[in-house]
């Protein structure tokens, strides 16, 4: 990156979000690490970034709380003069078969994974339009394209991210702002580590690459879309899944 870019990464304290924070910082951005409750984990990410010579700040707020989102992001814009990169990564799962799914499990996943992305994107968009430069990168999922039993809520949210992103891309392309989706497949995170070995073997059998992805695989794709090299790519869904879904 030719100048210091200001980046906000939601859900940046662990897993894929942590890898994205570290990669963007390595590329020269000042990264704001968003988290809700695990401050110790966020501080650890900050320490690792600073140990590598990068710059990072902590930015606690719940993406599902519109007032908290607006206040936090306005604060960043006031302090730094703008926001150049927004990575909407925060997400949760509340898995269960649809026939037995509780209303609150549907509502919680949609409010965090989909509505939270809307709040954060809306909060940065006017400033990006005024500065005529911006990168909005939303973290989707292969599940949003192919579905998954027991994840109707999660798949609906991730599919919604794709439609949202394509619409935003068309609205702001003339202002030199791109909006894209990075859709991971099965990635080695806390979520996959707890799966039984038999389940892991079944999943691996569906992946032509023969391995789960690493958080860094996703972070590399995000960093590319955040760069000047990707200025003519917008409204795109970039799948990072080892061939699990070939389109």
**Residue 193 pLDDT > 80, yes or no?**
no
Rounded Cα distance, 91 and 87, in Å: 12
The two structure tokens encoding residue 51: 């140990």
The two structure tokens encoding residue 200: 């892991």
pLDDT, tens digit, 9 for 90 and up, residues 78-122: 999 999 999 999 999 999 999 999 999 999 999 999 999 999 999
pTM above 0.85, yes or no: yes
Rounded Cα distance, 215 and 156, in Å: 23
Q: How many residues does the chain have?
A: 247
| Kind plus residue range of the DSSP H or E element containing 58 | strand 55-60
**Residue 11 pLDDT > 50, yes or no?**
yes
Averaged pLDDT for residues 68-76: 98
Q: What is the pLDDT of residue 247?
A: 63
Rounded Cα distance, 23 and 243, in Å: 23
Domains of the chain: 6-240 (3.40.50.720)
pLDDT, tens digit, 9 for 90 and up, residues 147-190: 999 999 999 999 999 999 999 999 999 999 999 999 999 999 87
Q: How many CA atoms lie within 13 A of 106 on its CB side?
A: 9
- Identify whether 154 is a catalytic site residue: yes
Percent with pLDDT over 70 in the chain: 98
Instruction: Report residue 195's pLDDT band, with 50, 70 and 90 as the boundaries.
Output: confident
pLDDT, tens digit, 9 for 90 and up, residues 23-45: 999 999 999 999 999 999 999 99
Q: What is the pLDDT of residue 201?
A: 86
pLDDT, tens digit, 9 for 90 and up, residues 202-229: 889 999 999 999 999 999 999 999 999 9
Q: What is the pLDDT of residue 9?
A: 98
Rounded Cα distance, 233 and 123, in Å: 22
**Residue 1 pLDDT > 50, yes or no?**
no
Catalytic residue among 32, 119, 154, 232: 154
């Amino acid at each position: 990156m030719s100048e210091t870019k200001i980046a906000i990464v939601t859900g940046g304290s662990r897993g894929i979000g942590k890898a994205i924070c570290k990669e963007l910082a390595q590329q020269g951005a000042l990264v704001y690490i968003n988290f809700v409750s695990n401050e110790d984990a966020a501080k650890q990410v900050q320490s690792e970034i600073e140990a590598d010579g990068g710059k990072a700040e902590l930015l606690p707020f719940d993406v599902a709380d519109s007032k908290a989102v607006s206040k936090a992001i306005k604060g960043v814009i006031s302090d730094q003069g703008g926001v150049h990169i927004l990575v909407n990564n925060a997400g949760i799962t509340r898995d269960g078969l649809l026939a037995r799914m509780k209303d609150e499990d549907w509502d919680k996943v949609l409010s965090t994974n989909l509505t939270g992305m809307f709040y954060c994107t809306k909060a940065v968009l006017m400033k990006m339009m005024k500065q005529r430069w911006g990168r909005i990168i939303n973290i989707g999922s292969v599940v949003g394209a192919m579905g998954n039993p027991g994840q109707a809520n999660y798949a609906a949210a991730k599919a919604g991210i794709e439609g949202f992103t394509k619409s935003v891309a068309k609205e702001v392309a003339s202002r030199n702002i791109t909006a894209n989706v990075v859709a991971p497949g099965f990635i080695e995170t806390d979520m996959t580590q707890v799966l039984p070995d038999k389940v892991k073997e079944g999943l691996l059998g569906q992946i032509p690459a023969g391995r789960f992805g690493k958080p860094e695989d996703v972070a590399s794709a995000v960093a590319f879309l955040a760069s000047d090299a990707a200025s003519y790519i917008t409204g795109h869904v970039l799948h990072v899944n080892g061939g699990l879904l070939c389109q």
